[in-house]
A and B are shown apart, each in its own frame.
Chain A
Amino acid sequence: MIRRIVVMTLVTGLFVSLAGWAGPALNSLVIGSTQEPSNLCPWEGSADTKENLMGIFNIGLTFFDSEGVLQPGLATELPTEANGRLAVIRDADGQVTRQQVVWTIRDDAYWSDGVPITSDDAIFTFKVQNTTEMMVTTRAFSNLIEEIIKVDDKSFQIIYKTPNLFYANVGGSIGLARHYDIAPKHIWEPIYDQVMEAITANPENASTIIQGQFLGSSPSTGTGTVVGSGAFEFVEWQINQFIRFTRRADFFLDPPGPVANYLQEVTVRYIVAQPTLLSGIIAGEIEASDDIGLAGLDPVILKAQLGNQGVVDVTPSGFIEKLNFNLFPQCQTAVDLLLGDKRTRQAIIQAIDREDLARTVYPGASVSNSFLVAGDIGFDETLKAWEYDPAAASALLADLGWTDSDGNGILERTVDGKVIEFRLHWVATTADFRMRTGEVLLEMLADVGIKLEVENLPGSVVFSSEYLNYGSECTWRGIVEYAEGGGIGQAPADPLSNELWANDLLEVPVDAVLENTPLPENSFGGTNITGWVSAEFDQMRAEALQEFDLAKRSAIVVLMQQLYNEELPTVPLYDRSEVVTKMTGLVNYVKGTAAARTQFWNAWEWGWEQNGAVAVR
């Protein structure tokens, strides 16, 4: 009896184990990721993890294809002036002052439960987005919209109070998170009504009610009915483990061949530890990775580990790793080190062999010279590249009065009788590649007499506003290194929608109020954590944001990059690459360009060659 049980267990176990290799056999795909989304609520959060996931079972009015070209998704066509869907009103100077866009949803667009997608869904989505009490992550884009009017069951008109050049980009239409624009009214309206009723009865507990009943609702937590507009429909979410989807029969975009030849099921498995994820990939349990889980791994080594069973893709991420300087005159350490003088920053960039650094710590990454990346509107390919030149760096530092008079290898200068050594505080997170960066920079800067004081802290500390925004209080005294999206591909794909280092926001002419620079006067709010003050940069940014002519806007952005490149409020190190693996035979699993920002833009085309799927990407 016992022997029988053991044999049965082993046989069943073998069968179950083989299920992990069943990708092509079962026409399914298991994707591995290290980051799980918080919820499935369309109005909350738009981080990469959620964007990727939502892309499997949702589609926006438009989407970027793998070439970075915008394509209609739910919409029948892209709105343009030529087809009459885009209407702009210009003032006497030719500046666009008003803008209206008409969208029409495809007749064959249905939610995964069979309910037609209509303009009522779009209007409801905007209504929730604009509800004051509602917990939406950002209103930066929806605030550009004055109102949305229903034209008919399938068409709606968006009237902008602030012209939006990127009205057609994913998320740019209604201002929701990336990769989806419209939420299902028939699912969310009952929940919304109930929540608003509860808030009306109990306004002081609005936050608790929304967290519990809206964000905690069954469509948000995946414990109830979850419907989407995309190629796959939601099946189940085992929290901290996996989310499963199956193919819809009624999706309006077809793969390049019989649907049966393409994936019928997709499962995303969440594995927190990268080594365990990698083990699963090499063991064949995970058939593809997303563009998040394998960050920082060497693609060459990864390819060697995978051998013939898999392929490794390396694509630009659109995130630029950079050194941010403390330029606050309130921070004495930064003042002593003359970080506010651009020659210091120019010396530091020339003291760093950025090619070597990128190759060493982030294989596959390419050196960056701008705050934008290729594909961004206005990206200047001809921007001067600061070459590695330690001699020039040393000369600049000497001009600034730094000498190594005591021969200890560290530059010093004397100010009011006090000897100041060039000890530069450098802080970054504890990610492996950043810890390696600290070691590399330590050596490179030592060659020009700068002693780097390396400090690695948990990301939750580095990125906390109490730390990052308190540069004027010298919480970080020299450099903080992290990566930031240049703004490309972010809804509405406006590189300037990221407030970057603007001191002042959206006002021409620039006034004296430093709204965006964290100081005690504004409760340390704002994103200009370096404290760089450039009225010229602010002026150009404000003008560019209001420029509706792409060519003119590009010209302004080029000038902004040139100013940035000269002043170097931050030193761009490299554009981080993204490493994605996929098993041999998986076709059309292609990340879009960095502009598109998402790996999961074309789930309906994914398939196994072994099953007759045709590769078109």
Chain B
Amino acid sequence: MATYLTRRILQVIPTLFVISLLLFGLLSMKPGDPIDEMRRGNPGFTQADYDRLREFYGLDKPWYVQYWRWLGRVMHGDFGPSRQFGRPAAQYIFKYRFPNTVLLSGLSLLVAFCVAVPTGVISALRQHSSVDYVITVVNFIGVSIPIFWLGIMLIYIFAVHFRGFLPAGGLATPGVTGTWPIFVDRLEHLLLPVIALSSLQLAQWTRFMRSSMLETIQLDFVVTARSKGISERRVIFKHALRNAILPLITLVGLNVPLLFSGAILTETVFNWPGMGRAIFDAILVNDFNVAMVSLMFISLLVLTFNLLADLTYALVDPRIRYG
């Protein structure tokens, strides 16, 4: 196991290097640069200003020269400043964006998982019952409804129609002070985006859990457990569930990185300042440094969670061993 772990960790380094080269090259191929944004916002902007600023930002160099310089700085822990906001790009992402994404995506994942598992189990155990049918229909609706549409509808109902019952978006209400009011305010701002973001995952994972459970309870070891007189509750939760949940764990593990980068629609609709939106905006306005640090981080997350999923699998299933 230690050998396997070491090997996997060491593989991350060249993988990230190749990814960084590809990302930088792709971003460089995109037309435009930050100076174009300045030109648009300043009618008095002259060609002399343009040339001066391109040289200032090093944009007059070929992309591979710019990449080499970027790599050199990154080796020293400097990911460069955000051209959009002036702060260090890494600070901008990890201090101002990443925690918000962890909060929203983490809570959504937790809600989806905690609801999907028991719901899937119940649906499987009561197959073909009215409970099962209701859960199935709700799941199909959850899978079919686009997240952004659901988000807009939630805003319309709870913020517009019931005017101000819940906030229309944002992270917090400006000017709220006090620990308890801040906590409640944050919860209110989280409620709608978490519902929207978790809806698809919840529906998918419930169906998955149901299928996995249905498959597992028909296996021989479950029949054997029952025949040994073990209580049904113990048979289900100690024996069957433990096996049925394995594929879901893998799925959840593989989905975690996506939650950090793929919440852009939810973040846009609810004006939630998270990483998804940050990446999108950074690419649009050619804020290279922010785009690179974000995308590299997502890449690292994917690699890490792939590894964690494999390790968790081995933990849960003693038959699996790595060498």
Residues of chain A whose beta carbon lies under 8 Å from any beta carbon of chain B: 8-9, 12-13, 15-21, 28, 30, 38-39, 41, 45-48, 135, 137-141, 206-208, 210-212, 215-216, 220-221, 238-242, 244, 265, 267, 269-273, 275-276, 279-280, 282-285, 458-461, 463-467, 484-485, 487, 490-491, 497-499, 515-516, 522, 525-527
A568 CB to nearest chain B CB (Å)? 21
Known A-B contacts A17-B164, A38-B86, A279-B168; A487 and B47 likewise in contact (beta carbons under 8 Å)? no
Known A-B contacts A239-B96, A241-B172, A284-B163; A17 and B188 likewise in contact (beta carbons under 8 Å)? yes
Residues of chain B whose beta carbon lies under 8 Å from any beta carbon of chain A: 30-33, 35-51, 53, 56-58, 80-81, 83-88, 92, 96-97, 152, 155-156, 159-160, 163-176, 180-181, 184-185, 187-188, 268-271, 273, 277, 281, 284-286
Whether A137 and B42, one on each chain, are in contact in the complex, defined by CB atoms closer than 8 angstroms, is yes
Whether B58 and A267, one on each chain, are in contact in the complex, defined by CB atoms closer than 8 angstroms, is no
Residue of B nearest to A11 (CB): B184
Residues of chain B within 8 A of A276, CB atoms compared: 155, 168-169, 268-271
A2 CB to nearest chain B CB (Å)? 15
Which 3 residue pairs are nearest across A and B when measured between Cβ atoms? A464-B32, A47-B41, A240-B273
Cα A527 to Cα B41 in complex, Å, equals: 14
A49 CB to nearest chain B CB (Å)? 8
Residue of B nearest to A282 (CB): B160
9 CB < 8 A contacts A-B: A18-B164, A19-B176, A39-B86, A46-B41, A47-B40, A216-B81, A242-B170, A269-B170, A283-B160
Whether A12 and B184, one on each chain, are in contact in the complex, defined by CB atoms closer than 8 angstroms, is yes
Whether B88 and A207, one on each chain, are in contact in the complex, defined by CB atoms closer than 8 angstroms, is no
Residues of chain B within 8 A of A221, CB atoms compared: 85-87
Residues of chain B within 8 A of A135, CB atoms compared: 53, 56
Cα A210 to Cα B48 in complex, Å, equals: 19
Whether B88 and A212, one on each chain, are in contact in the complex, defined by CB atoms closer than 8 angstroms, is yes
Whether A13 and B188, one on each chain, are in contact in the complex, defined by CB atoms closer than 8 angstroms, is yes
Cα A53 to Cα B117 in complex, Å, equals: 49
Whether A215 and B81, one on each chain, are in contact in the complex, defined by CB atoms closer than 8 angstroms, is yes
Known A-B contacts A138-B44, A273-B271; A283 and B164 likewise in contact (beta carbons under 8 Å)? yes
Whether A16 and B81, one on each chain, are in contact in the complex, defined by CB atoms closer than 8 angstroms, is no
Residue of A nearest to B58 (CB): A207
Whether B86 and A220, one on each chain, are in contact in the complex, defined by CB atoms closer than 8 angstroms, is yes
B277 CB to nearest chain A CB (Å)? 7
Known A-B contacts A17-B165, A38-B84, A276-B270; A138 and B46 likewise in contact (beta carbons under 8 Å)? yes
Residues of chain B within 8 A of A485, CB atoms compared: 43
Cα A526 to Cα B51 in complex, Å, equals: 10
Residues of chain A within 8 A of B175, CB atoms compared: 19, 28, 244, 265, 267
Residues of chain B within 8 A of A241, CB atoms compared: 170-172, 174, 273
A60 CB to nearest chain B CB (Å)? 16
Residues of chain B within 8 A of A238, CB atoms compared: 171-172, 174
Whether B43 and A497, one on each chain, are in contact in the complex, defined by CB atoms closer than 8 angstroms, is yes
Whether A137 and B45, one on each chain, are in contact in the complex, defined by CB atoms closer than 8 angstroms, is yes
Contact of B36 among A13, A15, A18, A465 (CB under 8 A): A465
Cα A465 to Cα B152 in complex, Å, equals: 36
Most A-side CB within 10 Å, residue of B56, B92, B165: B56
